[in-house]
């Protein structure tokens, strides 16, 4: 899930779509999400709008007008069947002017499931309820942490590109001055960090140092733990060896995620950045590896007698 909620909207009356979409967006904004509508006027234009890959289209919801002008004489039942065939696992809102029961009966007789029904009069409220139902599944704090990290990574990417674009427009002296400003800022930061480190050192406790997360990074802490474990455990300790694999293999992949943005490459959605791309399969493997390594670090915590609150 992203901060944008993408809806494929199949209706041959774009003005109506825009009006309904504005009503949904006003209410959806209160939940911290942005409605992104892909308007399509006919079924034949769906693949051109979202691509051929069913699972990589990024669509969260499909809305279909029963009175869609198909141009082939086909009715709403055909439209609904084709949409369900094209999107077998998506929530679909099927709506008409005023006959919700007719649509429900049509879907039942066609053996179609996972369909929501609405009328134009109640379409905004009905669609919002479907969206809220979908969002409720992923709006736990831990999942939202991932959403926020993805969004901030996108912003970081734009900021860096914008800085480079501004720099490119400067003359030679301007470029020197621009770079000097950044270097001065970094030096001032290093000076402040030096003062902070001295204060932490005077307290003579590890807790005081570890609170300086901007100085003692996650990698620094992992290195310290591995070095200590190396002195405590026998050579070839399985927990230690696995932890080293985590540092050398998993951490670089995790760090890459902080510098990638969502892109569509050859019709497939990938996470792309200056250090390369990560596909859905790459993410699956990373999740599997993280599960394994989380268990290993839990074993290490037991080994060193960690008392979790």
Burial profile 261-295: b = 16 or more Cβ within 10 angstroms, e = fewer: beeeeeebbbbbbeeeebeeeeeeebeebeeebee
264 vs 133, higher pLDDT: 133
**Could you tell me the two tokens for 149?**
């990290």
What is the distance between the alpha carbons of residues 9 and 42, in angstroms, rounded to a whole number?
A: 10
What is the distance between the alpha carbons of residues 67 and 13, in angstroms, rounded to a whole number?
A: 10
**Could you tell me the two tokens for 130?**
């479907």
Render pLDDT for 129-182 as a digit per residue (tens, 0 to 9).
999 888 877 666 666 667 666 766 767 777 777 888 888 989 999 999 999 999
**Could you tell me the two tokens for 50?**
């979202």
**Could you tell me the two tokens for 92?**
């679909």
Domains of the chain with bracketed CATH = 4-139 (3.40.50.2300), 217-309 (no CATH)
Q: What pLDDT is recorded for position 57?
A: 63
Identify each DSSP E strand in the chain by its residue range.
4-10, 34-40, 61-65, 91-96, 115-119, 260-265, 268-273, 276-278
- Least reliable range by pLDDT among 82-91, 162-171, 268-277: 268-277
3-class SS at 32? coil
Q: What pLDDT is recorded for position 2?
A: 66
Residue 205 is given by DSSP the state -
């Amino acid at each position: 899930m992203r901060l944008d909620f993408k809806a494929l909207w199949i209706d041959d009356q774009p003005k109506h779509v825009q009006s309904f979409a504005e009503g949904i967006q006003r209410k959806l904004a209160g939940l911290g999400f942005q409605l992104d509508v892909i308007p399509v006027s006919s079924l034949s234009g769906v693949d051109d709008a979202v691509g051929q890959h069913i699972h990589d289209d990024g669509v969260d919801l499909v809305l279909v007008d029963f009175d869609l002008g198909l141009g082939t004489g086909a009715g709403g039942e055909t439209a609904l069947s084709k949409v369900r065939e094209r999107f077998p696992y998506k929530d679909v809102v099927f709506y008409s002017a005023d006959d919700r029961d007719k649509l429900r009966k049509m879907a039942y007789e066609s053996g179609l499931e996972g369909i929501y029904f609405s009328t134009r009069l109640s379409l905004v409220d009905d669609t919002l309820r479907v969206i809220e139902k979908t969002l409720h599944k992923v709006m736990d704090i831990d999942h939202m942490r991932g959403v926020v990290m993805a969004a901030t990574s996108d912003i970081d990417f734009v900021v860096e590109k914008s800085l480079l674009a501004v720099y490119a427009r400067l003359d030679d002296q301007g470029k020197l001055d621009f770079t000097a400003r950044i270097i001065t800022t970094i030096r001032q930061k290093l000076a402040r960090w030096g003062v902070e480190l001295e204060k932490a050192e005077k307290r003579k406790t590890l807790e005081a140092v570890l609170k300086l997360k901007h100085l003692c990074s996650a990698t620094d802490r992992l290195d310290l733990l591995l070095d200590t474990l190396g002195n405590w455990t026998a050579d070839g300790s399985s927990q230690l060896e696995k932890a080293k694999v985590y540092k050398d293999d998993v951490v670089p992949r995790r760090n890459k995620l902080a510098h990638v943005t969502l892109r569509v490459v050859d019709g497939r959605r990938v996470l792309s950045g200056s250090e390369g791309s990560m596909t859905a399969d790459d993410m699956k493997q990373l999740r599997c590896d993280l599960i394994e390594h989380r268990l290993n670090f839990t074993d290490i915590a037991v080994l060193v007698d960690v008392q979790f609150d």
